[in-house]
Structure 1
Amino acid sequence: KVVCDPECATGCVPNKPSQCCSKDCAAGCTGQFDRCEKCRFYNNSGTCVVKCPPHYDYNQHTMKYERTDNGKYAYLFECVEECPGRYSP
């Protein structure tokens, strides 16, 4: 078992007790601070995030929402590229 420094509330990088895991981790991390064992919110291709990448971003210059290339759907604590089966965006 890894013993982390007291300030590492979400765990620490293995063999580096003073290098805390990301605040988005629900449990320890593996090798890098943002590669968590479990995510507090969503897992986006192995990295924990508070929300999945949006399909649209607001462009302040054109004052319009524009489609992004990396948008994903939130589904069961995962960010997924395709909307699952019977669900619609």
Structure 2
Amino acid sequence: QDRLGFLTFCPTNLGTTVRASVHIKLPKLAADKAKLEEVASKFHLQVRGTRGEHTEAEGGVYDISNKRRMGLTEYDAVKEMYDG
């Protein structure tokens, strides 16, 4: 679709549908989940457990990904995650 991008089952994936993510161990930030969320929000990132949305991190390992998909090119989505 020219205006909205590819439609998927999940409305949060409107746009390019590109979700760039990394599994990373963040032991100090894991001790303060509110601070982790604050830092992630500042960079337009989403924090998930390693087993997907609505799961907890295991051993301080988180899945960090770009939050925005609408209005970005695929390159911009990956770059936003990388820069954050």
**What TM-score, normalized by structure 2, do the two folds share?**
0.26
- Name the structure with the higher helix share: 2
Which has the larger strand fraction?
Answer: 1
More RCO (CA 8 Å, sep 6+): 2
TM, length-normalised to structure 1: 0.25
